[in-house]
Amino acid sequence: MKKTDERAPPRDPSRDPLRDPWRVFVSVERIPDTGLHREIEADEATRAAIAEIAGLREIAYVRAAFDLKPRSGGQVHVTGHVQARVGQNCVVTLEPLESDIDEEVDLTFAPVEQIPELAESEDDDGDSAADMTDALEPIENGVIDLGRLASDMLYLAIDPYPRKEGAVFEPQITASDPEDHPFAALKSLQVEAAKPSSKPKRK
């Protein structure tokens, strides 16, 4: 029997399954007041799909551990870590290398209808709450997608310019030919003018 907290939400045509290959749903209404701990790990097919999206050579593993704690107003505080080992190529030597990722997660999810309301409201200090809404993630169709969250954190943690230890980019510098110098032609004319004439002198 399928667990209730893993049921998929109604299909949203705006969501591209090719962009979100890792889906692990948690129903907000099923999270206990004491909180919920979830550990997830992507299978081989999912890792391959994520690697293709991220432009990686491979992903040896990617796993995540989350703690979900309900808050007032239907919000959920999510903390945890995303760990992975990804295969890339050094941007200097083009040699294969592996990078370990350990990304911390600390986010608050809120019902979609709350986010614009918070953006328009003001806090007790009189400051705009827009900054607060920047830290809020939407709860869509009553669920939180931990798979997508883990994927997004992984994408953000990937080094776009990986280098092997000690690899240094050294640009090729070609010494200029002295004959190509802009004053080389003038200098040659001066040398020619200074040479004694070979014509015999008239008596």
Confirm whether 11 is domain-assigned.
Answer: yes
Confirm whether 189 is domain-assigned.
Answer: no
Confirm whether 188 is domain-assigned.
Answer: no
Q: How many structural domains are present in the chain? A: 1
Question: What confidence tens digit (pLDDT) does each residue in 114-154 have?
Answer: 887 665 654 555 455 445 445 789 999 999 999 999 999 99
Token output for 123: 């806090």
Confirm whether 141 is domain-assigned.
Answer: yes
| CA 118 to each of CA 72, 140, 149: distance values in angstroms, whole numbers, following the listed order | 14, 17, 22
Closest alpha carbon to 115 in 138, 99, 93, 131: 138
Burial class (CB in 10 A: 0-12, 13-18, 19+), 68: buried
Confirm whether 179 is domain-assigned.
Answer: no
Domain boundaries, position 113: 4-157
Confirm whether 181 is domain-assigned.
Answer: no
Work out the average pLDDT over 99-116: 93
pTM higher than the cut 0.75: no
Confirm whether 110 is domain-assigned.
Answer: yes
Confirm whether 137 is domain-assigned.
Answer: yes
